[in-house]
Structure 1
Amino acid sequence: MKSLKNKPENILVCVAWPYVNGEPHLGHIAGNNLPADIFARYHRMAGNNVLMVSGSDQHGTPVTIRAKEENTTPKEISEKYHNIWSETFKDLDFSFDLYTKTGTENHKEVVQKLFNLLNEKGYLQEKVSKQPYSEESEMFLSDRYIEGDCPHCPSRTKGDQCDNCGKDFEPIDLKNLISTIDNSKVTFKETNHIYLKLPEFQEDLNKWIKSKSYWKPAVKNQSLGFLSKGLIDRAITRDIDWGVEVPIKNYEKKRIYVWFEAVIGYLSASIEWAESDKNISNNKDIWKEWWQNPESKHFYFQGKDNIPFHTIILPAILMGSGEYNLPYDVVANEYLNFSGKQFSKSKNWAVWVSDFLKEYDSEALRYYLTSIMPESSDSDFTWDSFFESNNNELVATFGNLVNRIQSLIKNNFDNVVPNFEKIDDKDNEMISEIKRSYESTGNFLEKRQFRNSLKEIMNLAKLGNRYIDQKEPWATIKSDKQIAANTLWVGANLISNLGVLISPFLPKTSLKISSMFNFGNVIPEWKYREAKSGIKINNISPLFKKIEIEK
């Protein structure tokens, strides 16, 4: 692992902006928020300059639909669910430097400025097109809210790609169209819109994506596949009255399309953070260190359905501006399913985070979701595997190791880390394994391989349990107290460093272990942390609770 401490890097951690038309479920957490938080926490510990931002997408069509269902306004519904999402992220200990929303004045100004900049550079143009329209609802519809007969196969489908045959089409090619909102008939009406000239970026995007040797194959292949079809101009305005206003004449009744303005949220959030009291540097231009310093690295944590927006659309906007850094990596995960079926807000097939946290601990959830994180293929949440994860791994392996060593030191050395003398080969091997774990775990974290990094830590805990079993300090204390002291000095250092290694994954657990050794209520550095002889150990309650399973 390279030494990050010698030369701190600027790491921008960008997390997908959720539509706030409902409460968050576990699929939202496992796909992008949890891996982003682990990654940000690790890089802070490694001494890097980390800025982690995201926010609520308040302007998507799903928000306006939910507002109609609840007989309220989009503003009220988006504020309601924005607050719920914000609180949920706090409950899960996500370490956002700023979690904001697209409804701020700052976001509007940044989006409009970028819109005008692209317009001045000739990357925008006005076109007349026919768009789906519901006479009954008196509104234009986005592709996701129309359904009709596929022009390529005998199936009913939505949007601009058939769910059955997989072929693309223009929505106007669908037959027997209806609105999925109210089943009303859909026609097409002419309307003026502003388009982004994506074809002008085709060649540069192709070269840029091909150069990304470290991207996940699924991300790179999907992006190149998207490009291989040939980019077309895409509308960046819509006939709606909810969203960011279009900053040109005759567009007062239209708004900027959410797919354009939401991806600019990473930039607007960075600027908002820099101008807020959360920025302790007092340098309001410090956001430029992440956005305009070419050595800075941007990491975008997304679900696989969001890949083209962050490998094609956002980079095109940034290229067109000529002012900002492009993504370094788009860390897209597959889907987390629930008992074999995809999580779905609309179908109410989900485990809602708020319900989960009423019954179970957030650390148990963070651990389990990391252990099954859908990094390269879809994974499945089941209650049985969650219970097994908590009871057999957190409680029986990690928690038991800490409890055993703490009890032995308490009962035999008055809660003081004992002195060591002439430690043997097994003791030295255990200390070496602890130090080696920093490199192996760190290497996996650098590569965004979170499941493997967690396995490394749990393997160290398992090795620690075997070490204690083999050394039998409860027996040697009766025959040779110094050998027992050596064993428990190693054990104390094992606990101390497991507390450091587990910190990006289980921050509360890490702080409990720090308090055990009086290390203070601070995030540790990513390096070996010695529990020196003579340190008074504070008794802590068991780190994890066994879940009693009803039969």
Structure 2
Amino acid sequence: MIQFKRHLVTAALPYANGPLHVGHLCGAYLPADIYVRFQRLMGKDIVFICGSDEHGAAITMRALKEKKTPSEIINTYHELFQKTFHGIGISFDYYHRTSDPLHHQTSQEFFLNLYNKGAFREIESEQFYDLSSQQFLADRYIVGTCPKCGNENAYGDQCENCGSSLNPTDLINPKSVISGETPEKRKTKHWYLPLDEYENWIKDFIVNGTLDGQEHHDPDLWKNHVLGQCKSWIEGGLQPRAMTRDLDWGVDVPKEIPGSEGKKLYVWMDAPIGYISSTKQWAKEQHKDWESYWKDPESELIHFIGKDNIVFHCIIFPAILKVHGGYNLPSNVPANQFMNLEGNKISTSRNWAVWVHEFLEELPGLEDSLRYYLIKNMPEQKDSEFTWKGFQDAHNNELVNNLSNFIHRVLSLTHKYYKGVVPDFDPDEIIEGVAGDELGGFHDAELIYLFDLIQEVNQHIREYDFRAALKALMDICTAGNQLLQNNEPWKIQKSQPETVEVVMNLALHYVAALSMTMQPFLPFTAIKLRKMLNLPNLNASGELEDMLTKIAEGEFIIEAGHKIEEAQYLFTRLDDELIQKQIDKLHHSENQTIPINSETIMESKHLPLKETISYDDFAKVDVRTAKIIAAEKVAKADKLLKLEIDLGFEKRTVVSGIAEYYKPEEIIGRQVVFLANLAPRKLKGIDSNGMILMAEDADGRLTFISAKEDWYLGSVVK
């Protein structure tokens, strides 16, 4: 493994058009925070950078809806982001914003550098133009049917149902989000980054971990779904990507470039450069050299993001950096997948979300409980789920019954037996019975075990496996509990006081180790525990590394004779009423969806009607009742199922994009409505002959429609 002197960690810039929910938190910010906090404790030179992403069409869309200026929108959410991140304990070294003049200057210098190197291709293309508003439509101002999965609510740049990257002209039946009308195509010129010309080195970078023929990183350390998504893009053939847009909000294309009037930088050109401008501002205020973190080959760059941003951070931004020259490319992009909520996808348009700022306001003091539950269920390799009952169970059964009770017991017994003073013991004393062996040897062996447990936490964090790291942290608590249970000091305190002294000394070592090792996961609790132990707050300058060194050398990490404070419970139980209130609020909020301007088709509860067709066109459609008689997953396709359909008079094979909503075993025997005369097409190498008809809501959720149960198969649906 390559050893780096410095580490620059970025977390995805949150988009300043709405608040943060728990999916955002466990997708990028919590894993990054854990990683950075732990590396600080290990004495690493590490900088944690983020900032608000304040440009792009979605900002102006929200401004139009709310009848505000874009500046008012971004100021509102930038302030809310800062308050939310601080409240939940995300420890950025610097949190910047892309509306800052320094960022505009940095982005323009970057673009001009690429332009002067001849990196761009100026291409004239036809783009959609809204006659009513008299403006070209950016990607997010256009909605239509995805050509790949049939989702009728796809954006002009991406289908959020199947994850496909799109161009606006790919959409079927496109509509303007502003007017709801069908836009016309007009010619316009833009500057494109020719990704197709970089395909060979990008492939080597992603697949082999090499750059310019040299080892850059170990691709085996990248997550499978990150590599898979990148390889899929590369195998599909990289295409030139427009780096500018016809917009009135964003970073201006440098005026030195002919034809730049009215052009703005594409948000995925300027947003990741926000990492650089944020680092610049941090370095300016801290009197540091920002270039050493971005340009020194001995510095490491790591991007923490959600899975919807993978290709931008693994392909597009690295291409921009390499073409510019002199910048480090990421050694890892440990993207997480999505978190669902109570059986459904999180949906901002339906207000189906747990908003972090509301959690902090309504459940004060439970910041670490939320962090714990989100880490425990972090969607590291596949989508995971948040449930309020699961949150309650994790809090009560693990934080209260295990962690809090263990710590309270140790500190209470210390006060009971030794008036709150860490006991000393004679290491040469030999006691027959409960502990056995020479006390010094017993103590040393237990500390070696503690050392190994802490190193296990360290190893999992280095591998970006934060769920396993949290379990390893709780294993320290379990081991401490086991120490007490095996030796039962409350039973032998009078008969074997020497044994109890060493057991309690060890138990306090476990608690002291927890007070430091838990800090990346439960920072607020760590502060409380350090105070109870009468130990100084951590200043994140290598204290954990020092503690491990002490343990390895047989030194104590909490000295005999040290006086501790009175024991208090770090966590108390959450009752059913409190949790039910949150469940009721969630469902009530969904039923009263956020009011949306009628002009914004994308966020409407009901999808827009399609164009009128003639009766003769409709009469061509042959729809029948049918039954699913077999179902199986399609290899290497998370969203597809291969189905065998019984029409009564014949059987068909079809491929259906419903795997996200139904398991194969759940749908065998289900009656369906089937489009029987649809032309065959091949999906993932399978001939699909027809289509099952489904009902779809505005968030892309699917459900079957069917005739009366046990209706005759093959009946015509009219």
Q: Does 1:42 align with 2:38?
A: yes
Please name the residue that 1:309 is paired with: 312
CA distance in 2, matches of 1:130, 1:93: 47
- Where does 1:188-227 land on structure 2 (aligned, <5 Å)? 188-210=185-207, 211=209, 212-227=219-234
CA distance in 2, matches of 1:430, 1:149: 63
Please name the residue that 1:228 is paired with: 235
Aligned residue among 564, 574, 580 for 1:537:
564
Q: Is the 8 A contact 2:532 2:565 kept in 1?
A: yes
Q: Is the 8 A contact 1:8 1:47 kept in 2?
A: no
CA displacement 1:145-174 (0-9 Å, x = unmatched): 323345578663523666778877653354
CA spacing shift, 1:242–1:455, aligned 2, 3 Å: same
- Where does 1:280-429 land on structure 2 (aligned, <5 Å)? 282-283=287-288, 286-357=289-360, 358-360=362-364, 361-422=366-427, 423=439, 427-429=443-445
Q: Is the 8 A contact 1:177 1:187 kept in 2?
A: no
SS, match of residue 544 in structure 2: coil
The alpha-carbon deviation at position 510 of structure 1 amounts to: 1.7
Aligned residue among 525, 529, 532 for 2:544:
525
SS, match of residue 96 in structure 1: coil
CA spacing shift, 1:335–1:250, aligned 2, 3 Å: same
Please name the residue that 2:479 is paired with: 463
Please name the residue that 2:682 is paired with: none
The alpha-carbon deviation at position 545 of structure 1 amounts to: 2.3
Q: Partner amino acid for 1:436?
A: D
Q: Is the 8 A contact 2:454 2:473 kept in 1?
A: no
CA distance in 2, matches of 1:81, 1:353: 13
- Aligned residues between the structures: 541
Question: Computing the radius of gyration over CA atoms, which structure comes out larger, 1 or 2?
Answer: 2
Q: Partner amino acid for 2:230?
A: S
CA distance in 2, matches of 1:229, 1:37: 35
CA spacing shift, 1:451–1:152, aligned 2, 3 Å: closer
CA spacing shift, 1:65–1:499, aligned 2, 3 Å: same
CA displacement 1:237-258 (0-9 Å, x = unmatched): 1111111111024323221111
Q: Is the 8 A contact 1:512 1:540 kept in 2?
A: no
Which consecutive residues of structure 2, in runs of 5 or more, have no partner in the other structure? 210-218, 428-438, 551-556, 581-718
Aligned residue among 268, 271, 281 for 1:272:
281
Please name the residue that 1:261 is paired with: 270
CA distance in 1, matches of 2:119, 2:329: 18
The alpha-carbon deviation at position 92 of structure 1 amounts to: 1.0
CA spacing shift, 1:49–1:351, aligned 2, 3 Å: same
Identity of aligned residues (%): 38
Q: Partner amino acid for 1:520?
A: P
- Where does 1:487-526 land on structure 2 (aligned, <5 Å)? 487-523=503-539, 524-526=543-545
The alpha-carbon deviation at position 201 of structure 1 amounts to: 1.5
Q: Is the 8 A contact 1:433 1:460 kept in 2?
A: no
CA spacing shift, 1:207–1:507, aligned 2, 3 Å: same
The alpha-carbon deviation at position 536 of structure 1 amounts to: 0.4
Q: Partner amino acid for 1:61?
A: A
Please name the residue that 1:237 is paired with: 244
TM-score using structure 2 length: 0.72
CA distance in 2, matches of 1:8, 1:420: 42
CA spacing shift, 1:349–1:409, aligned 2, 3 Å: same
CA spacing shift, 1:171–1:61, aligned 2, 3 Å: closer
CA spacing shift, 1:535–1:330, aligned 2, 3 Å: same
Which consecutive residues of structure 1, in runs of 5 or more, have no partner in the other structure? none
SS, match of residue 482 in structure 1: helix
Q: Partner amino acid for 1:303?
A: G
Q: Partner amino acid for 1:25?
A: H
CA distance in 1, matches of 2:245, 2:311: 20
User: Higher relative contact order at CA 8 Å, sep ≥6: structure 1 or structure 2?
Assistant: 1
Q: Does 1:186 align with 2:183?
A: yes
CA distance in 2, matches of 1:165, 1:81: 28
CA distance in 2, matches of 1:147, 1:69: 16
The alpha-carbon deviation at position 417 of structure 1 amounts to: 0.3
Please name the residue that 1:476 is paired with: 492
Q: Partner amino acid for 1:195?
A: Y
Q: Partner amino acid for 2:334?
A: V
- Identify which range, 187-196 or 526-535, moves more after superposition: 526-535
CA spacing shift, 1:479–1:168, aligned 2, 3 Å: closer
Please name the residue that 1:30 is paired with: 26
Q: Is the 8 A contact 2:342 2:386 kept in 1?
A: yes
CA displacement 1:420-468 (0-9 Å, x = unmatched): 2242766444322211112111111110110001101111211211211
CA spacing shift, 1:20–1:152, aligned 2, 3 Å: closer
CA displacement 1:37-80 (0-9 Å, x = unmatched): 00001111111111100110000221111111111100111011
CA distance in 1, matches of 2:235, 2:292: 34
The alpha-carbon deviation at position 176 of structure 1 amounts to: 3.1
CA spacing shift, 1:366–1:481, aligned 2, 3 Å: same
SS, match of residue 409 in structure 2: helix
Q: Is the 8 A contact 1:430 1:464 kept in 2?
A: no
Q: Is the 8 A contact 1:18 1:55 kept in 2?
A: yes
CA spacing shift, 1:164–1:263, aligned 2, 3 Å: closer
Please name the residue that 1:88 is paired with: 84
SS, match of residue 520 in structure 1: coil
Q: Is the 8 A contact 2:377 2:384 kept in 1?
A: yes
Please name the residue that 1:13 is paired with: 9
SS, match of residue 574 in structure 2: coil
CA displacement 1:307-354 (0-9 Å, x = unmatched): 000111010001101110000100100001111222122221100111
Q: Is the 8 A contact 2:128 2:137 kept in 1?
A: yes
TM-score using structure 1 length: 0.94
Q: Does 1:120 align with 2:139?
A: no
Q: Does 1:177 align with 2:171?
A: no
Please name the residue that 2:66 is paired with: 70
Q: Partner amino acid for 1:316?
A: A
The alpha-carbon deviation at position 94 of structure 1 amounts to: 0.9
CA spacing shift, 1:296–1:494, aligned 2, 3 Å: same
Q: Is the 8 A contact 2:58 2:140 kept in 1?
A: no
Q: Is the 8 A contact 2:456 2:472 kept in 1?
A: yes
- Identify which range, 159-168 or 212-221, moves more after superposition: 159-168
Q: Partner amino acid for 1:104?
A: D
Please name the residue that 1:54 is paired with: 50
Q: Does 1:139 align with 2:166?
A: no
Q: Partner amino acid for 1:411?
A: K
Q: Is the 8 A contact 1:336 1:374 kept in 2?
A: yes
Q: Partner amino acid for 2:15?
A: Y
Q: Is the 8 A contact 1:8 1:48 kept in 2?
A: no
